[in-house]
Structure 1
Amino acid sequence: MASKRIITICQSGGGFTTNPEDGSLHYTGGEAYALDLDENTELEDFKHELSETFQCNVDGITLKYFLPGNKKTLISISKDKDLKRMVNFFKDSDQVEVFIIAEDEVVARNVSNLPVSRSSRTTVSEAGVPPGGTDDLCGPHDLVFMEEPVDQSSLDICHSGNDEKHRRAATQWENTITGVDQRFSSFSEFREALHKYSIAHGFSYKYKKNDSHRVTVKCKVEGCPWRVYASKLATTQLICIKKMNDKHTCEGTTVKAGYRATKGWVGNIIKEKLKVSPHYKPKDIATDIKREYGIQLNYSQAWRAKEIAREQLQGSFKEAYCQLPYFCEKIIETNPGSIATFSTKEDSTFHRMFVAFHASLSGFKACRPLIFLDCTLLYSKYQGTLLGATAADGNDGVFPVAFAVVDEETDENWHWFLSELKSAVSTSRQITFVADLQKGISDSLRDVFGEDCYHAYCLRYLAEKLNRDLQGQFSHEARRLMVQDLSAAAFAPKLDAFERCAENIKAISPEAYNWVIQSGPKNWANALFGGARYNHMTSNFGQLFYNWVSEADELPITQMIDVLRGKMMELIYTRRVESSQWTTRLCPLMEEKLQNETSKAQSLQVLFLQGNTFQVTGESVDIVDIDHLDCSCKGWQLLGLPCCHAIAVLETVGRSPYDYCSTYFLAESYHATYAESINPIPNVEKPVKSELDVTGVTVTPPPTKRPPGRPKMKPVDSLDVMKRQLQCSKCKGLGHNKKTCNRLNGIKENEAIEKEATETPLLMSLPSEEPVGST
């Protein structure tokens, strides 16, 4: 059985008026045509038929209709399902009214009492000029920016004597259109000039013809003779005004007519300021546009205008993916020895990209074999995730090694990234990785680097997981103490100290104790860990690098990577220059640590045992074996620097502690880390088109897109609630140091702890790593 056909009364060119009694909307004016459709009609076909009927651009058409019995809320038709729903709603009727709102309409209306439905995201067309002229049309508060579809940003504004102060900024545009024979480089330039001209002179216009060969524009007011015709100048690409009637017969044009502010227009206005101030906020954009032009923008409209301006300045996000083949070639060409590779999916959409500069790979050879793995979400148009590998230089500064941009964080992408990383760093040294125990990192590390690979679990991640798993079972105070004991167990250098901390957890909860034992302490506890991580406990050591990412993650992909390249280039140069002034044998931070240990060694007593083994007596008794670089306190092994006990022995036997420091801490190694430079990449923002075409490889953006509307706030890093708590070196209590220790005065330590617990966040006991150069 054939589906029922409904007569669609399609109206365009008129406007809505509001009934003051019941708030209902009524459409008046314009043209109307009757078309038929059924539930099988496709929206795209319907739009094309409307485009031919009303002679308007199909891409700029927005369709609205009223639900049966509801004349207050306009419903949008944006996809086939919406069109089918409308037909279904009116299956018992013979006809339905559909209102066509074209993108190029420029309108004026009184909308002060017009109801807006946020759920239907209504855009309302022009209201007719009420009887009595413009005095009834415009008031001091009639400026309203209506809710709109995502792909259309328009504003209609009415002028009155009160708005003249806002129009001063527009007077500079009074002569953007001068008359016949005026030439423009393109139609877009002509349209922009026309838009500014209409704002400066305060009238509305509409396009009668608007294509790639000619543009005809007339005044919006029926019967007014103002019009302009422009077309291509023969044998050139220039656009020339061929005919123009600059006279208006419409009454009081400057007062009566309105104009709209498209997102493109606002984007052009703020473009120069955005170039100077990249972090120009949407709320500040709205404030400035209101002050200078009398146009009220909401946050979403200001944000979209900023996106337009940013794309004009930085280039298209979509084009940036097309440039990836060229960009990778240029990285390798300008920085020989670097790695820059990408891959796409079967449909040519972007999948992932790996970058490692030669200077980073060369510098890592002089760093400790210690790599921190972490990731961060990207907030560009097509989103994605950045996977990073950073190292620690000899002065405990962040040293970026390699990074990758992937469409999403998955086990497969982590495995691929680690495979690329292994090929890049190719070293015979056994590397220790500090990373979260999630997203397949642990399995991928074993698969790629072998069973002998050391994976140190991030203590921050463990603490958060413990707190999360225990939430609801224990009080805040109990969980705080268990997180505190977990941190103490991780830092404990000896097995007996680790076991004491674990027993403290067991005293609170046997279940929590089992959780700790089953969490793999050999991967996070100093007393059990087999690799060398130099007391670095968390994977967020590379925060400096991820701060750079957060500053550039809204840029197109090629420009974001080039910003990171620039930051790394500057970092290498700065540290190379600074270190050239050093006079110490060790890096400054390590020199300071060694001197601190040396001062502690002065009060220690050394007793020879046998061979090169000694007993050192102080607050405790420790055994030092200088042949094996071993001390029973485990400080020497953990840090790579002689502890105070070892220094006491070395000074006793007449040896220099510097000869027993790890070579990674020598200033000489630091110089080697920053010996190579990263070079600029030319034409990143505007590559030569002929060079782009040579690659023959097509890359399109990934299917994931940033959702429309106001961007979500970036999550606050948990570092803020996981700072290391102050610990007394005498009584080992928390919340004070040895100078303010109350134990000697007979005050109970647990009272001080209990008092502080009420003021301290749950995870404050976990230390954070503040690497040198992180600010």
Structure 2
Amino acid sequence: MASAKRIIAICQSGGGFATNEEDGSLYYSGGEAHALDLDQNTQLKDFKQELSETFECSVNGMAIKYFLPGNKKTLITVSKDKDLKRMFNFFKDLDQVEVFVIAEEQPVVARNVSNTPVSRSSRTTASEAVVPGLADDLFGPRDLGDVEMDDPINQSPLDSYPSGSEEQHRRAAIQWENLITGVDQRFNSFPEFREALHKYSIAHGFSYKYKKNDSHRVTVKCKIEGCPWRVHASRLATTQLICIKKMNPKHTCEGTSVKAGYRATRGWVANMIKEKLKVSPHYKPKDIAMDIKREYGIQLNYSQARRAKEIAREQLQGSHSEAYTLLPFFCEKIMETNPGSIAKFTTKEDSTFQRLFVAFHASISGFRACRPLIFLDSTLLYSKYQGTLLAATAADGNDGVFPVAFAVVDEETDDSWHWFLSELKSAVSTSRQITFVADLEKGISVALQDIFGDDCYHAYCLRYLAKKLNRDLKGQFSHEARRLMVQDLSSAAFAPKLDAFERCAENIKAISPEAYNWVVQSEPKNWANAFFPGVRYNHMTSNFGQLFHSWVSEAEELPITQMVDVLRGKMMEMIYTRRVESSQWTTRLCPLIEEKLQRESSKARSLQVIHSEGNTYHVSGESVEIVAIDRWDCSCKGWQLTGLPCCHAIIVLELLHRDPYDYCLSYFTTESYRATYAESINPMPNVEKPAKSELEGAAVAVTPPPVKRTPGRPKAKQTDTLDVIKRQLQCSKCKGLGHNKRACEHNGITEIETTGTQLLTDMQIEEPEGSA
């Protein structure tokens, strides 16, 4: 028996990551390295234990990271056995892998990391990589407070002190109490001196005010009247150095008594939180205020914390406005590093940004192996300049999300959708009739007809229809009646035959003839399986691409070029991961499709072919269905709707000794899946900080769009209105809706609309049981 394949893991620890200025890649320097063996059966706990013994460190808090082949900007975290096995598969042909063992950072803000699933293993970009030791140098060791505050067992002893106690601020005092030492101390500049003075006052718990503050001298004194503390600094003659000339270090005031009134500047707070924001991009303002209060004794309100976060993010990520000026260069880089890609932008007459369209060559090429099915959806961006992201996603052979193209537009209008679909047509082949699953509104229907004409079908999104039905009938029916009508609408959409559709419609008619008329007039040919002329493989809603939109929600606060680059990185990782995973598949069909075919084969065992007429067969089960093998047709419509043989077709194929796999659409084969992910998306070096020479001679100058965000705290994203139906009040006396008996007009009180006590009930559109 052949021995299991083994690779060498070159494990490094004790050093740190640095960034290569030329291409933005990461490299590891310092520390020590050891070589360990790995095979595909190695368990993560055993690997960690061996690392612990090798580097003489604790297993707890150990983080294991590695780079994907050919990508030195993205660190992948190994957190479970599946991650370790996947890493082995990535490198089994290379025979060795570099592994980095670092102490896992556990700051207070770690609890704010988004729970939205992004990928099967954690991902750290170059901009998020933390050089070990920086966070501890700035905020002190973790055991003094960088713990989860909701866990009473792990709370720091400092948390039990009153907010104004000296012990509460010991961390700041340890770091900054000697930043100002006295006469003859020198500084390189006045800003450096002012910064040191700022931190020194926090450490010693007092406030100060400037008596002189110019480019030649700085004189400050304690803010409490009568306190003798003061310091004077000026430029040292014949040099650029700043020197303290006079200082009275004694306080007669109670320094801590003014602590509560101390006001930190936004810039100072931004500097204090910058490293934590690197570790956790979702660091919330309320947690910023809490940490600053706990660590430095300074009280911030929500707005101060939010503005400080914006400043820190801009320091880390660059300016939002400057990102728009980089768009011409950025689009050129996309097409240069990924030949065959499309990257276009438009501006308004005043050169302000209007629209950006991106379709990578790997997506354009991969879509050719996917079903001719595209989902159109949009996401509102909550960045500084807001805007909307329009996305076109497809379904791969394993029913996974495959991003095709996306655009950032200043606002979602009929014109912006028309422009996006025009650019999309130039990216995708129109040799096949494409089915678009999208809303009816926003001008999509008209744009599809104008641009694609008879080369496409427009399938109305079922979620949109249910939302419209609920909105149009609101106020006329009880909550329960509307819920049942929406259920019947969903069943009618999935019904494969006309008689099943009519039964569902009659159920709606029994509740309300008006609702029945609404259904009849809603163009069922565009949303009901029984009438739809195209094929949408039982995908009824346009929000299929939620995975892609979850990536957008993580990156939406970044400057526009960085947001697009993060999406590029996510797509690059997804393509690489799925390509490697599919190389291990041994089935002819993709795994999920294989399961569906096996379920149909199980159902076929209870069926019987009762007679045949030429190439047409009658199959008996719960009903008698007619199967025409040569036309790939069954009267149950399951074969036509899904592209897979239904149970009735399978029993006939078995009778004829034919292989059911030969009668599955090629889109579902493992071969087509691999073709979908055959092309790679390449990194784009030097896009964050291009050389000035690369920016010179830009044909178009792009400026940011007008800021649209209103003052105050940003509004949270609204819940999808389709997922919630509000229960209206119903009068127990007259049975009317929208009021209770106290406000009933029959009591002499004018009827009013009451909304304060509405009850929210979840209503999810689900595929009816038994549908393919």
The answer to whether 1:267 aligns with 2:273 is no
Structure 1, residues 84-103: CA drift from partner, whole Å, max 9, x if none? xxxxxxxxxxxxxxxxxxxx
Rounded Cα–Cα distance in structure 1 between residues aligned with 2:421 and 2:606: 48
Rounded Cα–Cα distance in structure 1 between residues aligned with 2:399 and 2:343: 27
Rounded Cα–Cα distance in structure 1 between residues aligned with 2:711 and 2:768: 36
Rounded Cα–Cα distance in structure 2 between residues aligned with 1:188 and 1:318: 26
Residue pairs, 1:473-622, within 5 angstroms: 473-622=476-625
Equivalent residue number for residue 473 of structure 2: 470
The answer to whether 1:164 aligns with 2:166 is yes
With over 3 angstroms needed to count, the CA separation of the structure-2 counterparts of 1:710 and 1:767, relative to structure 1, is farther
Equivalent residue number for residue 226 of structure 1: 230
Q: CA deviation at 1:626?
A: 1.1
The answer to whether 1:173 aligns with 2:176 is yes
Equivalent residue number for residue 154 of structure 1: none
Structure 1, residues 536-591: CA drift from partner, whole Å, max 9, x if none? 00001101111111111111111111111111111111111111111100001111
Rounded Cα–Cα distance in structure 1 between residues aligned with 2:186 and 2:540: 69
Rounded Cα–Cα distance in structure 2 between residues aligned with 1:605 and 1:245: 104
Q: CA deviation at 1:375?
A: 0.4
Q: Which amino acid aligns with 1:349?
A: T
SS in 1 for 2:343: strand
Rounded Cα–Cα distance in structure 2 between residues aligned with 1:214 and 1:707: 41
The answer to whether 1:623 aligns with 2:626 is yes
The answer to whether 1:412 aligns with 2:412 is no
Structure 1, residues 480-504: CA drift from partner, whole Å, max 9, x if none? 2211111111001111211221122
Q: CA deviation at 1:683?
A: 3.2
Higher mean C-alpha displacement, 646-655 vs 636-645: 646-655
**Residue of structure 1 aligned with 2:349, choices 346, 349, 353:** 346
- The answer to whether the 8 Å contact 1:534/1:638 transfers is yes
Rounded Cα–Cα distance in structure 1 between residues aligned with 2:282 and 2:641: 43
Structure 1, residues 419-465: CA drift from partner, whole Å, max 9, x if none? 11111113311110000111111111111111442000000110111
- Unpaired runs of 5+ residues, structure 2, are 1-161, 726-758
**Residue of structure 2 aligned with 1:317, choices 307, 312, 320:** 320
Rounded Cα–Cα distance in structure 1 between residues aligned with 2:392 and 2:620: 42
Q: Which amino acid aligns with 1:280?
A: Y
SS in 1 for 2:308: helix
Q: CA deviation at 1:220?
A: 5.6
Rounded Cα–Cα distance in structure 1 between residues aligned with 2:176 and 2:695: 38
The answer to whether 1:197 aligns with 2:187 is no
The answer to whether 1:680 aligns with 2:683 is yes
- The answer to whether the 8 Å contact 1:483/1:766 transfers is no
- The answer to whether the 8 Å contact 2:363/2:403 transfers is yes
Equivalent residue number for residue 245 of structure 1: 246
The answer to whether 1:655 aligns with 2:658 is yes
**Residue of structure 2 aligned with 1:458, choices 452, 458, 461:** 461
The answer to whether 1:422 aligns with 2:425 is yes
Q: CA deviation at 1:520?
A: 0.8
- The answer to whether the 8 Å contact 1:181/1:240 transfers is no
Equivalent residue number for residue 53 of structure 1: none
Aligned CA RMSD, in angstroms, stands at 2.7
Equivalent residue number for residue 399 of structure 1: 402
Structure 1, residues 170-228: CA drift from partner, whole Å, max 9, x if none? 221234345657344x66544433321332344444456767x5563432658968344
- Unpaired runs of 5+ residues, structure 1, are 1-159, 723-758, 770-775
Equivalent residue number for residue 186 of structure 2: 182
Higher mean C-alpha displacement, 642-651 vs 312-321: 312-321
Q: CA deviation at 1:249?
A: 7.2
Higher mean C-alpha displacement, 200-209 vs 492-501: 200-209
Structure 1, residues 391-429: CA drift from partner, whole Å, max 9, x if none? 000000000111011111111111111111111113311
Rounded Cα–Cα distance in structure 2 between residues aligned with 1:397 and 1:525: 23
Equivalent residue number for residue 367 of structure 1: 370
With over 3 angstroms needed to count, the CA separation of the structure-2 counterparts of 1:762 and 1:163, relative to structure 1, is closer
Rounded Cα–Cα distance in structure 2 between residues aligned with 1:205 and 1:696: 52
Equivalent residue number for residue 156 of structure 1: none
Q: CA deviation at 1:165?
A: 2.2
Alignment length (residue pairs): 569
Q: Which amino acid aligns with 1:240?
A: L
Q: Which amino acid aligns with 2:583?
A: S
**Residue of structure 1 aligned with 2:287, choices 277, 284, 288:** 284
With over 3 angstroms needed to count, the CA separation of the structure-2 counterparts of 1:693 and 1:229, relative to structure 1, is farther
Rounded Cα–Cα distance in structure 2 between residues aligned with 1:631 and 1:428: 27
With over 3 angstroms needed to count, the CA separation of the structure-2 counterparts of 1:707 and 1:230, relative to structure 1, is farther
- The answer to whether the 8 Å contact 1:719/1:768 transfers is no
With over 3 angstroms needed to count, the CA separation of the structure-2 counterparts of 1:524 and 1:227, relative to structure 1, is same
Rounded Cα–Cα distance in structure 2 between residues aligned with 1:417 and 1:233: 64
Rounded Cα–Cα distance in structure 2 between residues aligned with 1:767 and 1:209: 74
Residue pairs, 1:90-169, within 5 angstroms: 162-169=164-171
**Residue of structure 2 aligned with 1:705, choices 688, 705, 708:** 708
Rounded Cα–Cα distance in structure 1 between residues aligned with 2:702 and 2:689: 17
Q: CA deviation at 1:287?
A: 1.7
With over 3 angstroms needed to count, the CA separation of the structure-2 counterparts of 1:402 and 1:499, relative to structure 1, is same
Equivalent residue number for residue 92 of structure 1: none
Q: CA deviation at 1:717?
A: 3.2
With over 3 angstroms needed to count, the CA separation of the structure-2 counterparts of 1:348 and 1:611, relative to structure 1, is same
Residue pairs, 1:696-775, within 5 angstroms: 697-718=700-721, 720=723, 761=761, 763-764=763-764, 766-767=766-767
Rounded Cα–Cα distance in structure 1 between residues aligned with 2:548 and 2:506: 38
Query: Taking every aligned residue pair, what percent have the same amino acid on both sides?
Result: 74
- The answer to whether the 8 Å contact 1:205/1:217 transfers is no
Rounded Cα–Cα distance in structure 1 between residues aligned with 2:403 and 2:251: 66
Higher mean C-alpha displacement, 192-201 vs 470-479: 192-201
Residue pairs, 1:196-215, within 5 angstroms: 196-207=199-210
Q: CA deviation at 1:665?
A: 0.3
Rounded Cα–Cα distance in structure 2 between residues aligned with 1:299 and 1:332: 42
Rounded Cα–Cα distance in structure 1 between residues aligned with 2:331 and 2:768: 36
Q: CA deviation at 1:261?
A: 0.7
- The answer to whether the 8 Å contact 2:323/2:559 transfers is yes
- The answer to whether the 8 Å contact 2:392/2:405 transfers is yes
Rounded Cα–Cα distance in structure 2 between residues aligned with 1:467 and 1:232: 76
Higher mean C-alpha displacement, 255-264 vs 659-668: 255-264
The answer to whether 1:303 aligns with 2:306 is yes
Structure 1, residues 284-335: CA drift from partner, whole Å, max 9, x if none? 2222211111112222222222222222211121222222222212211221
Rounded Cα–Cα distance in structure 1 between residues aligned with 2:445 and 2:192: 56
Rounded Cα–Cα distance in structure 2 between residues aligned with 1:261 and 1:614: 82
SS in 2 for 1:627: helix
Structure 1, residues 261-293: CA drift from partner, whole Å, max 9, x if none? 112111111111111122222222222211111
Q: Which amino acid aligns with 2:623?
A: S
The answer to whether 1:669 aligns with 2:672 is yes
Structure showing greater radius of gyration is 1
With over 3 angstroms needed to count, the CA separation of the structure-2 counterparts of 1:244 and 1:531, relative to structure 1, is farther
- The answer to whether the 8 Å contact 2:186/2:244 transfers is no
Rounded Cα–Cα distance in structure 2 between residues aligned with 1:366 and 1:428: 13
Q: CA deviation at 1:169?
A: 2.4
Rounded Cα–Cα distance in structure 1 between residues aligned with 2:163 and 2:553: 46
**TM-score, normalised with respect to structure 2:** 0.69
SS in 2 for 1:472: coil
